[in-house]
């Protein structure tokens, strides 16, 4: 019986219409019997059958025109039930009109019994049609539930319309291996009340619900308004070992089509994300619209996001420059799918190759450059300093020199907080690149065609290629252990879109020569990050997933800085962006030292190369590195002793 009535087959809409017509026929007869009581002989006469035929014709026309019969009964919603109610009401009114206009001319009838019969019939018909749909829907879900031995018990965060949409979407899902226990909301006006027979619990009840009902997951909406309440509930779930999964905003999915298997686990980025940054998008669009824009490192984490955000500003031409063939090809496919009307050129080139870069400038004549290409992995560069010099220093120099030669309006360099008081080759190489492009700003003599050189400096971005978050996630998926270098290590974190928004804003406000510092919020302890990620995955740290400490890697330090001891900041009109008042190096001094550095780099003598880097960047003191022996420190003061520089101060 179950297989016949409640299989996945959807039965013909005409069969549904036939059943509905049978119901309204029974309802009309019943209502007439109630009115006439003992006068059964007067009921079933020619008049009754005429009424019945007219009423069936009217209801059939109304039901077909309102498409009452086309709905799949097992998925009936409140809207479907309301449509049935309206259809029966309309049919009753039309029947009354037809009776007065046509039937009364041939058959006299008494209003004393006709109008009450019509009212009773309306309620009986509506009730039976609605009861049919509710009964079939409940039986279908009940019989489906019998097939599942064990179910996942879920909670939904929030008790608003968005949360109700989640429940309705999951109820309509083809999956039946879960049970929605209730909602979680700390609003006192909603707590302990019910929504569609599901109770609203406070976040303090999560541990109790876990112990009593075995709650395994909680679902949260991405665009939840109550950020603090959601964070508290997530933290409670993490303490209890309940997995948290994130649902896209309601405008990204169709009602009734939500599938539990498609919902992603909550990302650590969602948990750490600060209040959203409000940017003045119009000034960015005005700056970039109709321009020829070059983006180096366009296939990387930051570069690809710059591509996406710049394309929304309708540039005249976007040149994507990278040496990574496959990622650049994937970027091209993404642009073809999402930005069909854009004009883009892909240029595969290593920025160390001056001749190839010159060909790019000669062909496309870029007006604005976003320079994101760099070698960034600290331990790798510690073992390969010559490559760090070739890409981060010489590559930047190649681009900057060509920018001046081809009258580029703005050159925006993406730097790093590791350039501040660097303890590794990578950070020192980026600091030398900063020094060079700043020195160019004041060296230019042509006031009319001066290129404005701008530097943006920020910390780690969540989810970038090779960053700690994907690494931890992969280790958790393998069952651990999760490796942390030191229990006290901290880092600044920012989401990729947030960082790029600030880069674009800084590019607008920059007049040339500035180093813009972004507000990175509070530093995050990497150990806490690992613990939270393990909890988000539904495991217990140290019990289910081990955490191991491996020691600081070559060139790595416990904490990052956004300013060195001698730098001060100047505020801008944007609260999240400040300008660093850094040491200024004269161009002739910088040019001479970089030429010497590049000449040494050809000798394949890493120690001499690093020694020259320390001379150019006096604050560069190696940490956990073979190059620490080069740092001669005054024991009494803790300062470097053999530093000879010729800088001035801006």
- The pLDDT of 538-553, averaged and rounded, is 85
Quote the pLDDT of residue 463. 62
Kindly report, residue by residue over 436-461, the tens digit of the pLDDT: 999 998 787 655 568 999 999 887 77
Quote the pLDDT of residue 404. 93
The C-alpha angle 25, 26, 27, rounded to 5 degrees, equals: 90
pLDDT tier at 591, thresholds 50, 70, 90: very high
Given a cut of 60, is residue 566 above it in pLDDT? no
- The pLDDT of 583-597, averaged and rounded, is 90
Given a cut of 50, is residue 410 above it in pLDDT? yes
Quote the pLDDT of residue 452. 92
Fold agreement (152-266, 281-461+493-519+561-630): yes
Quote the pLDDT of residue 69. 61
- Distances from the Cα of 277 to the Cα of 164, 251, 273, 500, 574, angstroms: 29, 22, 11, 11, 10
Q: Which residue has the higher pLDDT, 604 or 36?
A: 604
Kindly report, residue by residue over 15-24, the tens digit of the pLDDT: 777 877 888 8
* DSSP code of residue 482: E
Given a cut of 50, is residue 648 above it in pLDDT? no
Given a cut of 50, is residue 558 above it in pLDDT? yes
- The pLDDT of 161-165, averaged and rounded, is 78
Rg (CA), the chain: 36
For the record, the structure tokens of 455 come out as: 């530097």
Kindly report, residue by residue over 268-299, the tens digit of the pLDDT: 555 554 555 555 567 888 889 999 999 999 99
Which of 127-131, 424-428, 525-529 shows the lowest per-residue confidence on average (mean pLDDT)? 127-131
Given a cut of 80, is residue 45 above it in pLDDT? no
Backbone φ, ψ for residue 389 (5° rounding): -65, -45
- The pLDDT of 611-622, averaged and rounded, is 92
Span 281-461+493-519+561-630: which CATH code?
3.40.50.720
Quote the pLDDT of residue 256. 43
Give the separation between CA 373 and CA 353, rounded to whole angstroms.
13
Quote the pLDDT of residue 333. 93
- The pLDDT of 311-331, averaged and rounded, is 93
Give the separation between CA 232 and CA 253, rounded to whole angstroms.
26
- The pLDDT of 65-93, averaged and rounded, is 71
- Catalytic, out of 418, 430, 612, 614: 418
Residues near 250 by beta carbon (within 8 Å), at least 6 away in sequence: 162, 165, 221, 223
Catalytic (active site) residue 376: no
Which of 20-24, 104-108, 531-535 shows the lowest per-residue confidence on average (mean pLDDT)? 104-108
Given a cut of 80, is residue 344 above it in pLDDT? yes
Quote the pLDDT of residue 638. 47
Domain ranges of the chain: 2-145, 152-266, 281-461+493-519+561-630
Instruction: For residue 594, give the 3-state DSSP assignment.
Output: helix
- The pLDDT of 41-52, averaged and rounded, is 64
The sign of the CA dihedral 233, 237, 242, 248 is positive
pLDDT tier at 81, thresholds 50, 70, 90: confident
- The pLDDT of 372-396, averaged and rounded, is 93
pLDDT tier at 165, thresholds 50, 70, 90: confident
Quote the pLDDT of residue 255. 44
pLDDT tier at 360, thresholds 50, 70, 90: very high
Quote the pLDDT of residue 328. 93
For the record, the structure tokens of 633 come out as: 């420190």
pTM for this entry: 0.64
Residues near 116 by beta carbon (within 8 Å), at least 6 away in sequence: 35
Place of tokens 């059958």: 49
Q: Which residue has the higher pLDDT, 113 or 605?
A: 605
Kindly report, residue by residue over 196-222, the tens digit of the pLDDT: 778 899 888 888 888 888 888 888 877
Quote the pLDDT of residue 489. 86
* DSSP code of residue 257: -
- What is the separation, in whole angstroms, between the first and last Cα of the chain? 87
Quote the pLDDT of residue 94. 82
Which of 78-82, 234-238, 368-372 shows the lowest per-residue confidence on average (mean pLDDT)? 78-82
**Mean pLDDT of the chain, nearest integer:** 79
CATH topology of domain 152-266: Rossmann fold (3.40.50)
Contact 154, 239 (CB under 8 A): no
Place of tokens 């200024």: 584
């Amino acid at each position: 019986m179950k297989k016949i009535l409640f299989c996945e087959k959807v039965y013909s809409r005409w069969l549904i219409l036939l059943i509905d017509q049978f119901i309204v026929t029974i309802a009309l007869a019943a209502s007439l019997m109630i009115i006439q009581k003992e006068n059964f002989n007067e009921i079933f006469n020619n008049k009754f059958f005429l009424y019945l035929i007219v009423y069936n014709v009217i209801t059939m026309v109304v039901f077909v025109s309102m498409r009452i019969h086309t709905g799949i009964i097992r998925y009936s919603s409140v809207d479907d039930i309301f449509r049935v109610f309206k259809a029966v009401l309309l049919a009753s009114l039309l029947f009354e009109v037809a009776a007065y206009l046509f039937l009364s001319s041939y058959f006299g009838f008494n209003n004393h019994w006709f109008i009450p019969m019509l009212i009773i019939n309306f309620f009986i018909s509506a009730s039976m049609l609605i009861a049919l749909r509710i009964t079939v829907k409940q039986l279908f879900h009940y019989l489906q539930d019998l097939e599942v031995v064990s179910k996942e018990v879920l909670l939904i965060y929030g008790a608003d319309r968005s949360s109700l949409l989640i429940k309705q979407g999951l109820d309509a899902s083809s999956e039946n291996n879960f049970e929605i226990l209730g909602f979680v909301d700390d609003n006192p006006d909603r707590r302990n009340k019910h929504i569609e027979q599901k109770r609203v619990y406070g976040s303090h009840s999560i541990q109790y619900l876990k112990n009593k009902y075995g709650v395994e997951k909680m679902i949260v909406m991405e665009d939840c308004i109550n950020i603090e309440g959601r964070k508290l509930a997530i933290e409670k779930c993490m303490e209890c070992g309940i997995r948290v999964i994130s649902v896209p905003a309601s405008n990204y999915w169709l009602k009734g089509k939500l599938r539990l298997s498609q919902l992603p686990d909550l990302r650590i980025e969602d948990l750490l994300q600060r209040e959203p940054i409000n940017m003045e998008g119009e000034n960015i669009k005005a700056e970039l619209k109709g321009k020829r824009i070059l983006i180096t490192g366009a296939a990387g984490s930051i570069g690809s996001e710059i591509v996406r955000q710049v394309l929304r500003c309708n540039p005249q031409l976007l040149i994507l420059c990278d040496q990574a063939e496959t990622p650049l090809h994937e970027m091209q496919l993404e642009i073809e799918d999402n930005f069909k009307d854009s004009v883009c050129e892909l240029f595969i080139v290593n920025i160390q190759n001056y001749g190839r870069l010159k060909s790019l400038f000669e062909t496309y004549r870029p007006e604005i450059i976003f320079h994101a290409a760099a070698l960034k992995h600290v331990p790798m560069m510690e073992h390969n300093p010559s490559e760090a010099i070739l890409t981060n220093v010489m590559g930047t120099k190649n681009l900057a020199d060509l920018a001046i030669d081809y009258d580029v309006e703005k050159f925006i360099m993406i730097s790093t907080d590791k350039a501040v008081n660097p303890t590794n080759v990578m950070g020192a190489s980026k600091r030398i690149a900063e020094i060079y492009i700043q020195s160019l700003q004041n060296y230019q003599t042509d006031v009319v065609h001066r290129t404005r050189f701008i530097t943006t400096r920020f910390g780690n971005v969540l989810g970038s290629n090779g960053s700690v978050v994907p690494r931890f996630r992969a280790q958790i998926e393998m069952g651990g252990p999760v490796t942390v270098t030191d229990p006290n290590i901290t880092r600044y974190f920012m989401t990729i879109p947030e960082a790029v928004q600030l880069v674009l804003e800084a590019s607008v406000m920059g007049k040339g020569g500035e180093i813009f510092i972004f507000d990175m919020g509070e530093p995050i302890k990497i150990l806490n990050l690992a613990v939270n990620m393990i909890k988000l995955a539904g495991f217990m740290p140290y019990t289910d997933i081990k955490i191991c400490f491996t020691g600081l890697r070559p060139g790595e330090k416990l904490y990052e800085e956004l300013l060195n001891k001698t730098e001060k900041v100047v505020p801008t009109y944007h609260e999240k962006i400040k300008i660093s008042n850094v040491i200024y190096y004269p161009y002739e001094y910088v040019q001479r030292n970089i030429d010497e550095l590049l000449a040494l780099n050809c000798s394949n003598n890493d120690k001499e190369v690093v020694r020259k880097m320390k001379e150019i960047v006096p604050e560069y003191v190696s940490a956990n590195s073979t190059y620490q022996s080069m740092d001669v420190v005054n024991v009494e003061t803790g300062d470097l002793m053999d530093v000879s520089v010729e800088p001035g101060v801006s």
